[in-house]
């Protein structure tokens, strides 16, 4: 047709598909996201309820079973030791262990305690507090305390084993590593300089930024850190000497941070026997001299918050990968710690 646009072009034009003055395009609804969020909240709440219900049932069963009959408590100290409850999912709960030891000491039906250790250590303050609590249990009750090392009873793990009347180790257990570390401090100032990056830190004193990764460590800073490590190391030595009945002259050559096999630890007086958990329990039963029930006590995750569960459920793959990479970095802070490289 002359003087007009072909029909198919007119049909496919925006005006033909959406006539002028027609209804506006629909906006995307936010309801699917609201529903997804509600589902996640509901799922997290369900997990917490299920875990808490199971824990309450377990506690009730333990209380009912232990009431009115002699029993031995097996208390589990597993994972990296820290006073923070962020490590609950890894199996270690500092406050739970302290509270349980106090409850066992107050229970007249408790006849003894077996401490099951599978830990490379952790924060000095956590090891010290738990060790003191165990020593107090012995002094207050006069009941036997035995320790059993499974795969690791090293550094802080050995710290908490020291108060035991007898230390049994699995033949493949790594123990010893008596010492303290600040972890590895990384200096990236040379890398920044290479790429023309400069940093400025404003502090109130020359040592306020000590340990910063953005500047080389001075000899004065190194001496300050070393003085702290030496002091805490001295506490560690004194503790082991007191609990194991050893002298500094005997212990110090053994306590240069090295690790020991179970048989080496026994030969050097750091442990008493190589055996299984059943061997350790049988020896404890024999010392008690009466037939006792045996009940396990281990931390639970009931205290874990809804927020933490939601953060995990909604976390991106990238953030989880970053957390995994960060977990591979050396530990930081004052630690009695062994992880295969210290």
Catalytic positions, please?
A: 155, 208
The tokens 């702290």 sit on which residue? 228
Sheet containing 121-123, strands listed edge to edge, beginning at the edge strand earlier in sequence = 121-123, 332-337, 181-183
Give Dmax over CA atoms of the chain in angstroms: 115
Sequence-separated (6 or more) residues with CB below 8 Å from residue 189: 199, 213, 214, 215, 216
Q: How far apart are CA 104 and CA 111, in angstroms?
A: 9
**To 10 degrees, the CA torsion angle through 188, 121, 59, 44?**
10
Dist CA 176 CA 265 (whole Å): 7
Residue 123: partners with Cβ closer than 8 Å, 6 or more residues away: 81, 82, 83, 156, 333, 334, 335, 336
Per-residue buried b or exposed e for 96-112, using 16+ beta carbons within 10 Å of the residue's own CB:
bbbebbeebbeeeebbb
- The alpha-helical segments, DSSP class H, found in the chain are 7-11, 14-17, 31-66, 94-106, 124-141, 156-161, 189-194, 219-244, 248-251, 262-267, 277-288, 306-314, 317-326
Contact 157, 121 (CB under 8 A): yes
| Pairing label, strands 145-154, 110-119 | parallel
C-alpha to C-alpha distance for 22 and 59, rounded to whole angstroms? 67
Rounded CA-CA distance 247/257 in Å is: 17
Can you tell me which residue has the tokens 């570390």?
181
Q: Go through 14-35 and write b for each residue having 16 or more CB atoms within 10 A of its CB, e for each that does not.
A: eeeeeeeeeeeeeeeeeeeeee
């Amino acid at each position: 047709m002359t003087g007009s646009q072909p029909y198919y072009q007119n049909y496919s034009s925006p005006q033909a598909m959406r006539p002028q003055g027609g209804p506006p395009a629909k906006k995307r609804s936010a309801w699917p996201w609201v529903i997804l969020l509600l589902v996640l909240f509901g799922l997290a709440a369900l997990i917490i309820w299920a875990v808490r219900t199971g824990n309450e049932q377990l506690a009730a069963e333990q209380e009912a079973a232990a009431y009115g009959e002699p029993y031995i408590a097996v208390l589990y100290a597993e994972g990296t030791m820290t006073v923070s409850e962020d490590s609950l999912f890894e199996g270690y709960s500092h406050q739970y262990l302290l509270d349980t030891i106090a409850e066992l000491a107050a229970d007249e039906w408790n006849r003894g305690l077996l401490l099951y250790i599978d830990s490379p250590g952790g924060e000095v303050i956590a090891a010290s507090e738990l060790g003191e609590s165990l020593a107090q249990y012995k002094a207050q009750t006069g009941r036997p305390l035995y320790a059993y090392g499974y795969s690791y009873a090293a550094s802080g793990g050995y710290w908490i084993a020291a108060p035991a009347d007898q230390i049994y180790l699995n033949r493949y257990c790594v123990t010893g590593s008596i010492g303290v570390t600040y972890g590895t401090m990384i200096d990236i100032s040379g890398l920044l300089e290479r790429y023309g990056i400069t940093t400025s830190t404003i502090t109130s004193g020359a040592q306020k930024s000590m340990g910063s990764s953005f500047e080389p460590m001075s000899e004065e800073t190194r001496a300050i850190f070393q003085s702290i490590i030496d002091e805490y190391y001295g506490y560690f030595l004194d503790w082991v000497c007191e609990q194991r009945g050893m002298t500094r002259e005997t212990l110090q050559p053994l306590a240069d941070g090295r690790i020991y096999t179970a048989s080496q630890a026994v030969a050097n007086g750091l442990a008493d026997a190589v055996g299984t958990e059943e061997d350790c329990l049988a020896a404890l039963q024999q010392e008690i001299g009466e037939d006792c029930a045996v009940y396990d006590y281990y931390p639970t995750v009931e205290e874990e918050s809804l927020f933490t569960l939601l953060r995990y459920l909604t976390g991106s793959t990238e953030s989880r990968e970053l957390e995994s990479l960060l977990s591979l970095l050396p530990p930081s802070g004052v630690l009695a710690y062994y992880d295969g490289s210290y």
